[in-house]
Structure 1
Amino acid sequence: MTDGDAGPTRRAALKYGGSLAAGLAMAGCSEIAGTGESGTSGGGYTVSMSPTRDVSFDEPPETVFTRLTHHADMAFALGRGDSLTAMHAPDYYDGLWNQFVERLPDVSLDWTGLYSSWQPKKEKLYDLDSDIHLADPAWITKQDAWSESDIDEIADKVSPWFGNSLSDTHQEPAPEYAEGYEYYTLWEQFELVAEAFQERKRYEELAAVHDDLLSTIEPALPEESERPSAVMIASHQMDEIYAYTLSNPGFLTSHTRPLGARDAFEGSVESASVVDVETLFDADPDVILFLGGFEPETSITERRELFREDPVASEITAVQEERIYPQGARYQGPILNLFQLEMTAKQLYPELFGEWPRYESGPYPEMPEDEQLFDRQRVADAINGNI
């Protein structure tokens, strides 16, 4: 379908609340910009989130375009996992997410075969005809050279944009979005997405689980000087190691920042930098968190072996003490965040929260109920709408 074939929005029930340009012109109005408030008028309702500001709906969206996995997980958490039309690397993340979903009773997820939307084509968005684009136009224009007019066209002729991604690391938006751009925590944004889908009860139940989990973890943490030093890495070979620090701003660290581990690099390395083995050896972390270690095609056993066999890496404290642990994904939504908070708490502080089971392959380890830090059944019931 070409741009010239585009008609009006398929669902007259979903209306974009003014053009994006108009929303940006109002960015200085504190009662609108990034307040996260929602309101109702007649049979419809309006939800506000930066950068799109006020977006009006007459009914909750049914089909959902996403680009990044924090948004896909939010839709899943709200009972819309089967409603996705697109996401980044769907087959990869289907395999990864299902390693965790396996531990939620009577919950299923299937993202295989969806349109891979890392570099979305405008014509494809017409074809998908989704009821909402749960994605950040400021991210898409920053990454893919979409113009504001392209963004407005899709909003006017297909369905609204509603999402925020630059809160990942508090990235700087492009100049046309810079004024009034707001940053949200993972759970603040999830609340706004829940408002867009009119799923307040699901959100409140999952937020209560999250609050309970943090109230278990945070008061128990030792003094900072007694905490382990740690780093998160991603690598296939020893000559290219991506290193991530654990407490920088943004929702990518929403499962590590609350745990307060010490930065093994002591501020000398920026997050997402490529480092060599010698740099990692000099940092000498007590714990190495291996990003993507749960993905079915990634062998955490082989990765550990690479470190043990390397003459330099084998001298790192985390390697010698066998404290290389798997992680899931940084672009986490609320469901993955709950598992990763529990997992990382055990990996960093086994003496406080229980030993992390030795993991080689397969789904997230099964744990006796008294060793779980959050209630799986409660989470499953929220996703399934049994509240």
Structure 2
Amino acid sequence: MEPDADRPAATRRDAIRYCGAAAGAGLLAGCAGIEPTDGSASTGSGDDGSGAADQGDGSASGDAGTGSYTAELAPVGEVAFDAVPEDVMVYSLLYADLAVALGHGDAVNSLGFDADAGGNTLDAYYAGLDGVAFDREGLAQLNSGSGGVSVDRELLYELDSDLHLADPCLFASFDGWSEADVAEVRDNVAPWFGNVYSRRHSEPPEPCRDEYAYYTLPEIGERVAAAFREEERFAALETVREDLVETIRGDLPPAEERPTVAALIYMDGTYYPSRTDEPGFANAHVRPFDVPDAFAADDVTYETAYDHERLLEVDPDVVLHQYGIASYYDVGAIREELADHPVAGELSAVESDRFYPSGHPVQGPIMNLFQLEMTAKQLFPERFGEWPGYEHGDDYPEIPESEHLFDRDRVAAIVAGDAE
């Protein structure tokens, strides 16, 4: 597809300049890239243990007199802004949740998949926060694929966003996309600003590997906050998370008393496991508990699949079923199905009723707070309070205020910009 030279001139997106584009830069080049010093992906540790690149504090720098500023994020490097983005393409819930947390949820014009499905998940968590909401009415659905992933480049032209809050390396991996296509959209519509392979520290497409870096969830958050000039708001929200993690770590039982935990998805008689002891923000709601991974002895990849007999050999004490809150899977119905199965019914987690709906691995900062609290109650109810029953499609369950592990009113005030 050739760029449409007859498209009307952009307005606000002209004020958001990708600093490498004028020099004919490639997919990932920037004025001041933040690639690891050895040219390879970083595997250092961050506060949540997910591994991060030590690439600065993520704060925006700029000229207070002109209003111009910059923000940095691998793999795109440095992006220069003359105005805060007001119309933003978003692919994943991580960045939708971040936009809401930073007070810019109204800027979101799209989601990668069905907006109602993703919006339902956000609604489930936001229901406990007075005044916090995500308006998904009218959002464009970027992915139109039924079996794979298919995003029409022309749709990005039609959206005419100020910023593409998505990983360009991810888009370069989509069917029908190339490195040149990603650069074309950057140059003719708006810059990219996203990092998704930090989810599990997986390997990005080959053209991206030299410039890639892996971040913790807070590190992604502070860099996106810099793009919206909301560093103080994000810092306040991060303080809530740090306090929550400190509360959790301060009341954990001895290591030998902690249950073995399996994170998985169940579908049509097959289990699809995920490791919880590996780096990446997908595990940011489990990692602080330092529990034994039931799959630690196995070579688990995206292609790994277990039948009932194989999972019974592993026999985890607790099962955390991913995407379990107002999302794709009715975990209650799955639990009933397994309880009636002659093999699965013998699983310890099924027999002891410790087969739980768990969180969304592509989590933003607000989602992470609720998912940390949820996991604490599922793993250690005697220390953090019982996890209430949960029915598929419901909001995050009501928990007595005395058993809250973080202050909902404080979070709502931060999102509203009213926190002192």
Q: TM-score, normalised by structure 1?
A: 0.93
Structure 1 residues 312 and 129, CA, compared in 2 at 3 Å: closer, same or farther?
same
- SS class of match (2:263): strand
| Mapping for residues 282-293 of structure 1, pairs under 5 Å | 282-293=313-324
Q: Which residue of 2 aligns with 1:72?
A: 96
Q: Which residue of 2 aligns with 1:260?
A: 290
User: Which amino acid in structure 2 is aligned with residue 180 of structure 1?
Assistant: E
- SS class of match (2:103): helix
Structure 1 residue 310 displacement after superposition: 0.7
Report the Cα distance in structure 2 between the residues aligned to 1:28 and 1:255, rounded to whole angstroms.
27
Choose the corresponding residue for 2:280, options 250, 259, 262: 250
Structure 1 residue 205 displacement after superposition: 1.3
Structure 1 residue 138 displacement after superposition: 1.0
| 2:116 is equivalent to residue 84 of structure 1 | no
Report the Cα distance in structure 2 between the residues aligned to 1:308 and 1:30, rounded to whole angstroms.
49
Choose the corresponding residue for 2:141, options 116, 119, 129: 116
Per mean C-alpha deviation after superposition, the further-off stretch among 355-364 and 159-168 is 355-364
Partners of 1:246 and 1:256 within 8 A in 2: yes
Higher helix share: 1
Report the Cα distance in structure 2 between the residues aligned to 1:264 and 1:28, rounded to whole angstroms.
36
Report the Cα distance in structure 1 between the residues aligned to 2:407 and 2:175, rounded to whole angstroms.
40
Partners of 1:2 and 1:123 within 8 A in 2: no
- SS class of match (1:133): strand
Structure 1 residues 312 and 109, CA, compared in 2 at 3 Å: closer, same or farther?
same
Task: Give percent identity, aligned residues only.
Answer: 40
Structure 1 residue 325 displacement after superposition: 1.0
Structure 1 residue 26 displacement after superposition: 6.4
Report the Cα distance in structure 2 between the residues aligned to 1:330 and 1:296, rounded to whole angstroms.
12
Deviations 1:302-333 (A, max 9, x none): 11111101111111110000011112311000
- SS class of match (1:47): strand
Q: Which residue of 1 aligns with 2:11?
A: 10
In the alignment, structure 2 segments of 5+ residues that lack a partner are 40-52, 144-149
Q: Which residue of 2 aligns with 1:363?
A: 395
| 2:314 is equivalent to residue 280 of structure 1 | no
Equivalent pairs counted in the alignment come to 386
| 2:406 is equivalent to residue 374 of structure 1 | yes
Q: CA RMSD in A?
A: 2.3
Choose the corresponding residue for 1:93, options 102, 115, 118: 118
| Mapping for residues 10-29 of structure 1, pairs under 5 Å | 10-11=11-12, 12-19=14-21, 20-21=25-26, 23=29, 27=33
Choose the corresponding residue for 2:69, options 45, 48, 57: 45
Structure 1 residues 298 and 37, CA, compared in 2 at 3 Å: closer, same or farther?
closer
Report the Cα distance in structure 1 between the residues aligned to 2:381 and 2:95, rounded to whole angstroms.
31
| Mapping for residues 168-187 of structure 1, pairs under 5 Å | 168-187=199-218
Q: Which residue of 1 aligns with 2:415?
A: 383
User: Which amino acid in structure 1 is aligned with residue 121 of structure 2?
Assistant: L
Per mean C-alpha deviation after superposition, the further-off stretch among 248-257 and 153-162 is 153-162
Structure 1 residue 165 displacement after superposition: 0.6
- SS class of match (1:183): coil
Structure 1 residues 28 and 360, CA, compared in 2 at 3 Å: closer, same or farther?
closer
Structure 1 residue 2 displacement after superposition: 7.0
Structure 1 residues 60 and 218, CA, compared in 2 at 3 Å: closer, same or farther?
same
User: Which amino acid in structure 2 is aligned with residue 359 of structure 1?
Assistant: Y
Partners of 2:31 and 2:78 within 8 A in 1: no
Q: TM-score, normalised by structure 2?
A: 0.86
Report the Cα distance in structure 2 between the residues aligned to 1:188 and 1:159, rounded to whole angstroms.
23
Partners of 2:332 and 2:391 within 8 A in 1: yes
Structure 1 residues 76 and 143, CA, compared in 2 at 3 Å: closer, same or farther?
same
Structure 1 residue 28 displacement after superposition: 8.0
Structure 1 residues 350 and 29, CA, compared in 2 at 3 Å: closer, same or farther?
closer
- SS class of match (2:241): helix
Deviations 1:323-368 (A, max 9, x none): 1111231100001000000000110111111111122342111112
Partners of 2:33 and 2:78 within 8 A in 1: no
Q: Which residue of 1 aligns with 2:221?
A: 190
Report the Cα distance in structure 2 between the residues aligned to 1:199 and 1:348, rounded to whole angstroms.
34
Per mean C-alpha deviation after superposition, the further-off stretch among 29-38 and 160-169 is 29-38
- SS class of match (1:232): strand
